[in-house]
Structure 1
Amino acid sequence: MKRRNIYKKALILCGFLSTLTISAQQVNTMYFMENVPVRNSLNPAFQPLSNFYLGFPVLGFTQYSLGNNSLTLKDFAYNDANGKPIWFLNKNGDKNKFFNVLKPTTLMQTNMQLNVLDFGFRTGRAYWNFSIAEKMEGQVGLPKDLMKLLLYGTPDMNRNSYDFTSFGADMTVYTEVGLGYSRKANDKWTLGGKVKLLLGTGNVSGSSSDLKLNAGIDQWNLVGNGSVNYSSPIDLNGNSFQNFDPITDISTGQWLKPSGMGAGIDLGATYKLTNDVTLSAAVTDLGFIRWNKNLKKMGYNVDYKFTGIDGLNINDTDVNHKTDSIFTDFKNAIHDTITNSKAYTSYTSPKINVGVEYAFLNNKMSVGLLSRTLIHNKVAYEELTGSLNLRPVSWFDLSGSYSVLNGRSSNIGLGLGLRTGFIHWFVSADYVPVKYATVSFNNNSNSTKAPVPYNTKSTNFALGVNFVFGNKKDADRDGVKDSKDKCPDTPRGVKVDKNGCPIDTDGDGVPDYLDKCPDTPTEAYGSVDEHGCPLDTDGDGVPDYLDKCPDTPKEAKGFIDSKGCPIDTDGDGVPDYLDKCPDTPKEAKGMVDKNGCLLDSDGDGVPDYLDLCPNTPAEAKAFVDKNGCTLDTDGDGVPDYLDKCPNTPIEARGKVDQNGCPRDTDGDGIPDYLDKCPTIAGVAENEGCPAIKKEVKTLFKKALQGIQFETGKDKIKPKSYPILNQIAAVMTANPTYLIEVRGHTDNVGDAKLNQVLSQKRAESVRKYLIGKGIDSKRMTANGYGDTLPVSTNSTPAGRTLNRRVEFEITFEEVSVQ
């Protein structure tokens, strides 16, 4: 079958209708007009400014909207490259562009609301409202494949498939009786809700279960089925579309009796994120109606085959006749029935509104952003609206908006609210046309030009007139009437008392909205800064009212106690912020410098509190012990720092000079501690004493037994004189000799008597030598009795040896035989 143009009229009709049906069901521009009393229909949490409002019947709130989700007039007609107006089916037009604009299902809707009664009133923080409204909702869904068929026909010679299943229609008329309530839960949240009784007047809803067209060159075959539910005060007679007859003769009572009943609910909330930013969200028109009066179910089944029309031209005079013939055949191919049905349920189209508003200039202006989602037949339709709102005084409100609907922009909205005395007027509209095309209308010989909206898919407006009372004049919007407001310039969003003044909970003289320290104690009154925080003049972290040391220097910050005084952890009298030695022991108190470090007056490395020798000379530094005293490692009495002989042996202690070196008094090269004759030069062989001649040593040995005494007496026998004279001669020849005359006995007899006898015999020898001219000072005499035997007393020979007289030079003991 060749491609035909027989559906041009149908295409024009569908296109025109699609530009006049709606997709809004609410006026978005009104969302941010806060002086409109019935704004709570968009969000039940919104509270009117007036204390009471009463809507005029019908005029209190009337809303009507038209539109679709796909097309505008400019999609149908536009100027070609030469500036000549054409439409999209013109040979120079762009039908592909037209087709691409279409949604999978072009939704055409109409919506109307008339408020019969509407009033609300404030009670404290709550607001109640009651309304009775008549509502009408209508939708038609056109599948994109329908336009595809009309635009492109059947490009494939054998098989072309089209799916019309999404074709459907729905019309509902009902009465809504609602009771709403909102309450300011706190300074941030306002919550609201509205319960609704839905009284259904009538409903017609149709849908296709399976409606498809298969077309080829030989024939077209339309196969499908669907149904229509019907309920209204008007009953239907008949059993098919062709012969049904509505019964219109019904009484007023029957007309007013609901055909169905249901319920609905609105829920909403607002949240003040800051004093100037308010968030809001709502779900409205969430409901259902159960239909149970004059119920009819109209079902259809179609199996239509079309084999074409030969020779048809759009300019033929018999085109209408041929077209009517096609429609007659199509009608006959539909098999339909009308039967009584069971009760069924339809659902309202809920809307989700999410908004954010930023107010400035003390709420005299604001900008808002609203996201609206309409849900119809489980499909969501999105719309985003930005709004600029002007409300310089409480009786005037002007809003302008711009919407993006289903991805299409150029939708401007305007709203105006005005209060004159006890009456509030408002009008608001979305999708106000801003682009127009001039169209000429020919009437016989007359031609009339008129502007036609060119770039909008919808129109949506609302208006209302309401009595309002108690709309308190509150210039600063703090909730207190100006006549009672003692603080009329309170910033927006500030919590106030009954006098309209900012609350000062802690009584410090700084209102809470400025008070960064809201719990200031009573003691701090008069000592707070502009932020309501206790003053801390010296900046040490301790407020002045607690600070016992108000002049703490900056360097001490972080080193103070709870009273604001510099901490002295180690108690040394130097505060920690200056203390470079923070761990001074208790014993050192009073002995630290200005830096808190231990004093060491003599600089020997031992702090004064430990220094037992506090005046150590500078040269002795590093030569002191733990007590601060100069070290004397070798114990010779000369400190190490002066000791040139640091390893003096123990035997030399007390016998060293000022340099710590062993003394050699007689200069014989033998130190005094080793010199038995330290004042007389001697030789090492004689341990520092002068050398003793061999003959002298022999003489003294002879004297051991050579000096004889009378038995038991101390009288020297004369035979002993030669030896004594020789000894006298030696003493005379050696004037440096000092001798000790020692007397000894054996153990025969009384020991005490033996000691006395030995003493007397030694004295007798000393006296003899004195008599020979020897100085008595050079000799001493001592008797030792039997205490120092040189042999055994058990034999006569031994006892003889033990009875003797010895001569010992002081530097060498010499025994003379």
Structure 2
Amino acid sequence: MTNKQAIAFLLFISGICTYAQNKQLLYNFTEIPQSLMVNPGTAIQNRGYFGIPVLSGIYVNAGSSNMSVYDLFADNGVDFNAKVSNMVYSLKAGDVQRVNQQLEVVNIGFKIGGHFGKSYITFGAYQEIDFFNYWPKDLAILAYEGNAPNIGRAFNLSHFNVKGELLTVYHAGYHKKVSDRFSYGVRGKIYSSIIDFTSTKNSGTFITTEGENNFYRHALVSNVEVKTSGYASLREDDVNGGRDIVNKMMPRAFLAGNLGLGIDFGITYSPNETWTYTASIQDLGFIYHNKDVERYTLKGQDAIEGIELPFDDIFNDTGLSNNWQELVDEIEEAFPRDTIRDPYTTMRPVKLNAAAIYNFGGYAGKNACDCTASGFDGLINSVGLQLFAEKRPKHPEVALTAFYYRRLAQALRIKATYTVDKFSKKNIGLGLSTHFANFNFYLLADNLLEYYNLAKANNVSIQLGFNYIFPIRN
């Protein structure tokens, strides 16, 4: 494999985990206390709960837009170089790379106001990793082909668009059941950022044309900025190994990092026992980065003349080749790289959920299971449509889900979903919630048709957890 193919391969690996953070199985699954995390106004099926610490909410989401691991590594007789080439040219600048992981540390909720109280309080904390990237198509082609075959083509630097963060979120919520028909909820959040890197508003071009004094003329117009917080201190001399890195990062998880504020809001409206409508907004907020900040800028324009830029000869046995290092030095002289420490603000990825639900079938009755009670007196079946949208730098990521919910027995509930989005047209998910001796266990898995061969999956999502529930007393 040549160097230019290795570069394209590394670009692919750097973005192999992708998917929108859509929790369609959890949304409206009201027997699971964590459904309050995606809609603070959802119907509540208990008088209190606490999540088993660290085990109450484990969420992992991974996949790839329009490309899977199987496409690159399948033993199907196709030359590996041809697979890399197909990957470079088939992915588009709008294809998304994404990984999201969440781990609940604490999650507690309880009714206030006595047996007939209609208010509910929740609080807790969770850790989150979020990485989001648009495929850098022009940069991948430039790395793969070099500039000589692309005379006159302007490579777009705005294709470099990436965002990644590690943070802890502290939250407290209030839920009010106004009547059997309507309830609402609101949750405040404090974000404690541990590490952040953001580069989403870049512009500029690189173009090679016929030269006047030499074979080629290379022109670069650049307005690129990479913002980081929590990263600079990890390069200090006293940081040596993983333990030192953890010691640097740990205090930031406990409100010693860069802080921000956010809010969630949700409602549930049931005009009658048959129809229910829900909606929620999550992470309407920001983080202000003013500690351990470094911002790297590459701004300016210049042109140089030469035979061919060595994109396909970057490395040799000792590292960077002399030709490439000379080019880097020349570019650095023409485009001074500024490192500044001014604060910056990042907005959280706002998420919208909405659903219309039709309830039908026989009545389970409020006495059918002492761990549940509903505003519509326990109809055992529901079908409906859910809409999800998440704000991202170029455009919202949108998904539409059809679902079926069923109360199978006193201790078991299931929900099946079919989701259509830009990643898949055959995403079938299944979730279950069980109740034994007041303990709740739930398992939600997405894209089940791909589990027989995960390497072929464009996305996979799984969520599970354990809670202790204080049932409603009749």
Please give the range of the TM-score, normalised by the shorter of the 2 chains: 0.7 to 0.9
Letter in 2 for 1:161: A
Q: Which amino acid aligns with 2:359?
A: A
What is the alpha-carbon distance in structure 2 between the residues aligned to residue 254 and residue 465 of structure 1?
A: 27
SS at match of 2:67: coil
| One-letter amino acid of the structure 1 residue matched with residue 7 of structure 2 | A
Displacement of 1:229: 2.2
CA distance, structure 2, for counterparts of residue 194 and residue 117 of structure 1: 15
Deviation at 1:380, TM superposition (A): 0.5
State the one-letter code of the partner of 1:52: G
Question: Paired residue for 2:198?
Answer: 205
Matched with 2:359 is: 359
Tell me the secondary structure at the aligned position of residue 40 of structure 2.
coil
The 8 Å contact of residues 192 and 252 in structure 2, kept in 1 or not, is answered as: no
CA shift, 1:5, in A, is 6.6
Alignment of 1:56-205 (within 5 A): 56-73=52-69, 76=72, 84-86=76-78, 90=82, 99-100=89-90, 102-123=91-112, 124-149=117-142, 158-205=151-198
Tell me, yes or no, if the aligned pair for 1:106 and 1:144 is still in contact at 8 Å: no
Q: What secondary structure sits across from 2:397 in the alignment? A: strand
Q: 2:222 aligns with which of 209, 215, 224?
A: 224
SS in 2 for 1:191: strand
For residues 401 and 161 of structure 1, what CA distance do their matches in structure 2 show?
44
* SS of the residue 1:40 aligns to: helix
1:48 corresponds in structure 2 to 44
TM-superposed deviation, 1:226? 2.0
Shift of residue 468 of structure 1?
0.7
Q: 1:270 to 1:453 in 2, by over 3 A?
A: same
**What's the secondary structure of 1:364's corresponding residue?**
strand
Secondary structure of the structure 2 residue equivalent to 1:293: coil
Q: Does 1:460 align with 2:461?
A: yes
Aligned mate of 1:15, from 12, 16, 19: 12
Q: What is aligned with 1:336? A: 337
1:63 partner letter: Y
| Distance (whole Å) between structure 1 residues aligned to residue 62 and residue 52 of structure 2 | 24
Q: For residue 398 of structure 1, what is the amino acid of its counterpart? A: I
Q: Secondary structure at the match of 1:165?
A: helix
Q: Distance in 1 between matches of 2:324 and 2:66?
A: 28
1:295 — aligned with what? 293
The residue that corresponds to 1:350 in the other structure is 350
What is the aligned counterpart of 2:437 among 402, 405, 421?
421
Q: Distance in 1 between matches of 2:92 and 2:297?
A: 28
- State whether structure 2 residue 385 is matched by structure 1 residue 369: yes
Q: What do residues 619-644 of structure 1 show as CA deviations (whole Å, max 9, x unaligned)?
A: xxxxxxxxxxxxxxxxxxxxxxxxxx
Change in Cα spacing, 1:6 to 1:97, as seen in structure 2 (3 Å) is closer
Deviation per residue, 1:348-396 (Å, 9 max, x gap): 1111111122222233232232111111225201112222223223421
Q: Distance in 2 between matches of 1:29 and 1:254?
A: 32
Aligned to 2:368: none
Kindly provide the CA deviation profile for residues 30-53 of structure 1, in whole angstroms up to 9, marking residues without a partner as x: 224221111111111113312111
What code does the residue aligned with 1:262 have? G
Distance 2:97 2:274 in 1: 39
Query: What's the counterpart of residue 407 of structure 2?
Result: 391
Q: Please give the alpha-carbon distance, in whole angstroms, between the structure 2 residues aligned to 1:254 and 1:38.
A: 25
What are the equivalent positions in structure 2 for 1:608-627 lying under 5 Å apart? none
CA gap of 1:358–1:467, structure 2 versus 1, over 3 A, is: same
CA distance in structure 1 between the partners assigned to 2:108 and 2:281 by the alignment = 21
Please report how far the alpha carbon of residue 327 of structure 1 lies from its aligned counterpart in structure 2 after TM superposition. Answer: 5.2
**Preserved CA contact (<8 Å) 2:27 2:38:** yes
User: In 2 relative to 1, CA 133–236 (structure 1 residues): closer, same or farther, beyond 3 Å?
Assistant: closer
TM-score of the superposition, structure 2-length normalised? 0.80
Correspondence for 1:264 among 259, 262, 265: 262
Counterpart secondary structure, 2:35: helix
CA shift, 1:86, in A, is: 2.2
Q: Which amino acid aligns with 1:283?
A: I
Are the counterparts in 2 of residues 233 and 293 from structure 1 also a CA contact under 8 Å?
no
d(CA) in 2 for partners of 1:207, 1:177:
26
* Larger relative strand fraction: 2
Distance 1:300 1:394, change over 3 A: farther
2: distance between equivalents of 1:6 and 1:202? 31
CA contact (8 A) 1:36 1:48 kept: no
Q: Find the aligned partners of 1:283 and 1:359 in 2 and give their Cα distance.
A: 24
Deviations 1:178-216 (A, max 9, x none): 121222323322222111122233322234633422135
Contact 2:88 2:140 in 1 (8 A): no
Decide whether aligned partners of structure 1 residues 381 and 69 sit closer, same or farther in structure 2, where only a CA change above 3 A counts.
farther
CA distance in 2: counterparts of 1:68 and 1:352, whole angstroms: 22
Q: Residues 384 and 222 (structure 1 numbering): CA distance in 2 closer, same or farther, change over 3 Å?
A: same
TM-superposed deviation, 1:416:
1.8
TM-fit CA distance, 1:295? 2.4
User: What is the Cα-based RMSD across aligned positions, in Å?
Assistant: 3.7
Give the share of equivalent positions with the same residue, in percent: 21
Cα 1:378/1:254, change in 2 over 3 Å: closer
Q: Distance in 1 between matches of 2:397 and 2:54?
A: 29
- How far off its partner does 1:26 sit? 4.0
Which of residues 252, 256, 280 in structure 2 aligns to 1:282?
A: 280
Instruction: Give TM-score scaled by structure 1 length.
Output: 0.48
Please give the alpha-carbon distance, in whole angstroms, between the structure 2 residues aligned to 1:257 and 1:17.
30
Whichever of the two has the greater Rg, that structure is 1
Structure 1 position 61, deviation (Å): 1.1
Residue 298 of structure 2 aligns to which amino acid in structure 1?
Y
> 1: distance between equivalents of 2:418 and 2:39?
20
Please, which runs of 5 or more residues in structure 2 have no aligned partner? 363-378
Instruction: Provide the C-alpha distance between the structure 1 equivalents of 2:443 and 2:88, rounded to a whole number of angstroms.
Output: 34
Q: Deviation at 1:56? A: 1.2
Which structure has more relative contact order (CA 8 Å, sep 6+)? It is 2
Shift of 1:73: 4.2
Equivalent residue letter for 1:232: G
Which segments of 5 or more consecutive residues in structure 1 lack a partner in the other structure?
Answer: 437-450, 473-480, 482-817
Work out whether residues 57 and 117 of structure 1, in 8 Å CA contact, stay in contact via their aligned partners in 2.
yes
CA drift of 1:139 comes to: 2.1
Task: State the match for 1:730 in structure 2.
Answer: none
AA paired with 1:360? F
8 A Cα contact 1:69 1:103, kept in partner: no
**Bigger Cα displacement from structure 2, 118-127 vs 416-425:** 118-127
Query: Structure 2: which amino acid aligns with 1:11?
Result: A
- Indicate conservation of the 8 Å contact 2:355/2:386, yes or no: yes
> Partner letter of residue 54 of structure 1?
F
**CA drift at 1:228:** 2.3
Take 2:205 and 2:226, find their aligned partners in 1: how far apart are those partners? 18
The number of equivalent residue pairs is: 438
1:732 match: none
Pair 1:322–1:280, CA change in 2 (3 A): same
* 8 Å Cα contact 2:192-2:253 kept in structure 1: no
Q: Could you tell me which amino acid in structure 1 is paired with residue 337 of structure 2? A: D
- Aligned to 1:269, what secondary structure does the other structure show? strand
Per the TM alignment, residue 7 of structure 1 is displaced from its structure 2 partner at its CA by 1.7
CA contact 1:51–1:471 (8 Å) conserved in 2: yes
The CA distance in 1 between the partners of 2:30 and 2:410, in whole Å, is 9
CA contact (8 A) 2:151 2:207 kept: no
Please name the residue that 1:33 is paired with.
29
CA contact (8 A) 2:26 2:34 kept: no
SS in 2 for 1:361: strand
How much does 1:465 deviate? Answer: 0.7
